[in-house]
Structure 1
Amino acid sequence: MQYELTLPADYDMTVIERRVAERGSATDAFPHLGLKAYAVRRIGRHGSPVNAYAPFYLWHDPAGMNAFLYGPFRAIVTDFGRPAVRHWVGAAFHRGPAFGEQPVFLTRRRVPLPADVLPGDALDGQLEPPAARAGLHSEAVAVDPDRWELLRVTLWTAAPARPDPGVTGFDVLHASTPHLERLATGRLW
């Protein structure tokens, strides 16, 4: 799941940094949560045209997501209004060589699945583990069956020197990983 709050170009991003520093640990033991990456984009950094606050979550089950959305999420709604929350169906999760380290960067790629290919066939070759690269923490692959869109989120222990074309990069200010080691790995069906 991810929501993205696009902020004004002149927004003081230290407000978000302080918010995460003060409140980020609140999800460090959240039930059913595999990962919450407190992700941000800053104008001009990693090619970003916008400032944004865009936390990304991996849940063990919908109960955790529901408990969050109908509980602690009220702080976001109160401070910023109610954003659209994107959520996808997990298709694969892979650990990288740096899985035991703290992720500090996230890349996101969204790709439409071809309309003329059966959904399962469109996923062929998309669910394999990523090539082992220095700093690769983990990768999640998911599908939005409303938009028939593939999502690939990769966590890194350092920002890649040159992110792949077509990806959006986010700095991770804090990562809550209370049950990350319990996330199922490999293809999820």
Structure 2
Amino acid sequence: MIAMQYSLALPADYDMEIIDRRIQDKGPLLNGFPNLKFKAYLRAARGDLGSHENLYAPFYVWDKAEGASDFLCGLGFQALANDFGWPSVRTWIVWQARVAPGFREAKFATREILPIESHALLEEIRRRDSDEARRIVESGDVLAAVAGFEPTTWTRVRFRLWDKLPETCLGRNVQTYRVGHVATGRPSPG
């Protein structure tokens, strides 16, 4: 599995209703997309939930890398690039991606990016982050949890979908978003 996210920083006076309409119009179009586990359409407005800027920042989890490639090479992404410019797309190798029933009804999301210490035991970090993702979904604390890492900058990601956002989520390394829509794709065969 692979996770990816691009984040479009928008001007401070940008009318975020434009992004809300875009999510409403385009969100359902990815339902059934091959190899997509889910896409969370995310937005952050300056001054809301601790955000310092206006952002449109969808987060994707792909069952297979071919899904990400097909999407990025397709007309939908080209339309986004035509409207906003060609964004940098961050990717992570997914260790664990868990979803609970009703995860498509999420109202909030958090993304935390943490450094991996030099020469750390990756297997231990993978086990710990994977176990935590599994546990918090099974306990009902979150609607979805993704844990993964990126071996170019040696960082790891923790992504969560929430029904209600706990105050403990508002932290230094945590970007908080409102969820406009969650699309689910078509599982990969076999």
Provide the TM-score with structure 2 as the length reference.
0.86
> Which residue does the alignment assign to 1:44?
47
Letter paired with 2:156: L
Q: One-letter code of the match for 1:5?
A: L
Structure 1 stretches of 4+ with a deviation exceeding 6 A read: none
- Corresponding residue number in structure 2 for 1:87: 91
Looking at structure 1, the residues matched to 30 and 99 of structure 2 have their Cα atoms a distance apart, in angstroms, of 21
Q: How large is the RMSD of aligned CA atoms in angstroms?
A: 1.8
Q: SS state of the match for residue 126, structure 1? A: helix
- Which 10-residue stretch deviates more, 123-132 or 1-10? 123-132
> What residue number does 2:9 align with?
6
CA contact (8 A) 1:114 1:122 kept: no
**1:142 has 2:148 as partner:** yes
**Match of residue 170 from structure 1:** 177
Q: Is the 8 A contact 2:170 2:176 kept in 1?
A: no
For 1:119, the equivalent position in structure 2 comes to 122
Q: SS at 1:66's partner residue? A: helix
Query: How far did 1:40 drift?
Result: 0.5
User: If each structure's helix is expressed as a fraction of its own residues, which one has the higher value?
Assistant: 2
Q: 2:71 aligns with which of 68, 72, 92?
A: 68
For residue 82 of structure 2, what is the amino acid of its counterpart?
T
Task: Work out whether residues 50 and 170 of structure 2, in 8 Å CA contact, stay in contact via their aligned partners in 1.
Answer: no
- Percent sequence identity over aligned pairs: 34
* Secondary structure class of the residue paired with 1:159: coil
Q: Are 1:17 and 2:20 an aligned pair?
A: yes
User: Please, which of 90, 99, 102 is the counterpart of residue 100 of structure 1?
Assistant: 102
CA distance in 2 between counterparts of 1:26 and 1:124 reads: 35
Name the CA distance, whole Å, in 2 between partners of 1:66 and 1:56: 15
In structure 2, the CA distance between the partners of 1:44 and 1:130, relative to structure 1 (3 Å rule), is farther
The superposition leaves residues 18-43 of structure 1 with CA deviations (integer Å, 9 ceiling, x where unpaired) of 11111111101211111010000111
User: Aligned in 2, Cα 1:90/1:10: closer, same or farther, shift over 3 Å?
Assistant: same
Residues 35 and 179 in structure 1, CA contact (< 8 A), matched pair in contact too: no
Higher mean C-alpha displacement, 73-82 vs 171-180: 171-180
1:84 CA displacement: 0.2
Alpha-carbon shift at residue 82 of structure 1 (Å): 0.3
Distance 2:143 2:186 in 1: 15
How far apart in 2 are the matches of 1:160 and 1:177?
25
CA distance in 2: counterparts of 1:107 and 1:52, whole angstroms: 13
Matched pairs, number: 178
Unaligned 5+ segments in structure 2 are none
Q: Which runs of 5+ in 1 are unaligned?
A: 183-189
* 1:28 corresponds to: 31
Shift of 1:118: 3.2
